[in-house]
Amino acid sequence: MSMLNGKKIEDLISKNIFYGQMYAEGHLIAGEFNNGSSVSERVLSIIDGLYQMEQKYFNTNEFSFEIAIEKEPLASEIVFYISGILAHTSCEKGKDWRVFVRKSIGQLIPDIVITEKEATLTEKGFEKGVVAVIELRSKETIHPLMTGEDPNYFQKYIDTLGVSLNDIFIITPTLSVEYQDRIKSVAEQQEILSQSTGLPKENWVVLSENRSISNEEPQMFLTTDFDDFLNRLVER
């Protein structure tokens, strides 16, 4: 038991250092953005590094069970990373936003919610003052939205957070990997998602035209979606 306790302390220290570094990186990116520099490449490179780090860990450890964790998105880490960029951007641009990260709001737990400082949270949610709702999705989980399996998916945010579809954003590192989507470009997939859900096509922020994040990819085929996303937020 004592060994486990010691291990927990080491893990906690490591996590504190890791998240501290991610938050500091968010500060650097916000500073570059405030100075007029493009930050899309740096943002994607950090996310790429997170994926490579996780993949290397599972590939170098032997377990007595089959594991698919490495196939899952690094949701918590990426949500934290993006939230840090947004919080620091608020400071750099004098926006005075409040950034809620996976906070229970009504019956929802959105990835990220940005509000004005004076916005009031009630038991049912927000009636006004929400600047944006941001959902992080992997390439595997974007396809059901594109096929219209739940055309009213975003209604929960509208009802609870007092927003419109214009205020809702999805961030995805790469494109859908479904067979029928492989021949479609970023713009084509964004248009399909818009038609299926009513979400403005520019509100799906795709960081790369690749179908995967891998250091084996010869090029990242970056988009400027993240820069455009930040510019639109600070204009609100």
DSSP codes of every residue in 152-171: TTTHHHHHHH---GGGEEEE
CATH of domain 2-234: 3.40.91
Sketch the domain layout of the chain as residue ranges. 2-234
Do the strands 130-136 and 168-172 form a parallel or antiparallel pair, or are they unpaired?
A: parallel
Location of structure tokens 């490449």? 41
What's phi and psi for 214, nearest 5 deg? -160, 140
- Give percent of the chain with pLDDT exceeding 70: 78
Q: CB-side exposure of 88: number of CA atoms within 13 Å?
A: 19
Task: Say which residues have a Cβ less than 8 Å from residue 35's Cβ, sequence separation at least 6.
Answer: none
What is the pTM (predicted TM-score) of this model? Answer: 0.84
- Please check whether residue 62 is in contact with residue 5, taking contact to mean a CB–CB distance below 8 angstroms: no
> Rounded to an integer, what distance in angstroms lies between the CA atom of residue 134 and that of residue 127?
17
Terminal-to-terminal C-alpha distance of the chain: 53
Q: Residue 204: beta bridge partners?
A: 170
Plot region of 98 (φ>0 → left; ψ -120 to 50 → alpha; else → beta): beta
- Give percent of the chain with pLDDT exceeding 90: 53
Distance of alpha carbon 48 from the chain centroid: 13
∠ Cα 191 137 157 (to 5°) = 80
> Rounded to an integer, what distance in angstroms lies between the CA atom of residue 142 and that of residue 189?
10
Q: What is the pLDDT of residues 145-183, one digit of tens each?
A: 888 888 899 999 999 999 999 999 999 987 655 545 565
Q: What is the pLDDT of residues 63-119, one digit of tens each?
A: 545 444 444 445 788 899 999 999 999 999 999 999 999 999 999 999 999 999 999
> Rounded to an integer, what distance in angstroms lies between the CA atom of residue 133 and that of residue 86?
12
Give the mean model confidence (pLDDT) for residues 184-205: 91
